Amino acid sequence: MRRLRIGIRGNKPVLTQTRIVLDLLSHGVPGLKAQVKVAKTPGGRLPPEKRWETDGKGAFTDETGSLLVDGDIDLAVHSKKDLSIEVGAGVRIAATPPPGGPS
């Protein structure tokens, strides 16, 4: 059995996207067991009306990127809107699954 550690920002759209990713992965890896680790990102800690004050999209993705580089997770799932064009050292965008319906 293969265990997979997934890092996410714990908002509703990402939870929905994580279910889509897990469904796709489970078709290719029978018996896959996943553990979801919710990262508290600086952007996620702010109330919605204050999020415009963040210094860029990294406020929603840098924490999971650090978990990935440090080996604490195997992959991260993000909303495409939260990703910047450039990702940090040691991180790459490995897949973009087809979009799901609205969450």
Share of the chain above pLDDT 70, in %: 65
Domain range for 32 is 3-82
Q: What total number of domains does the chain contain?
A: 1
| Residue 18 in tokens | 């994580």
Alpha-carbon gap, residue 23 to 25, rounded angstroms: 6
- Closest Cα partner for 17 from 82, 63, 87? 82
Does residue 2 surpass a pLDDT of 70? Answer: yes
* In a domain? residue 60: yes
The predicted-structure confidence for 26-71, as pLDDT tens digits, reads as follows: 888 888 899 998 877 655 555 555 555 555 555 556 677 788 888 9
> For the domain that residue 32 is a member of, what is the CATH number?
3.40.190.10
* In a domain? residue 103: no
* In a domain? residue 101: no
Tell me the CA end-to-end span of the chain in Å, nearest whole number: 31
* Collapsed DSSP state (helix, strand, coil) of residue 76: strand
Cα 84 vs. chain centroid, distance in angstroms? 13
* In a domain? residue 69: yes
pLDDT for the residue numbered 6? 92
Confidence of residue 8 (pLDDT cuts 50, 70, 90): confident
* In a domain? residue 102: no
pTM: 0.71
* In a domain? residue 99: no
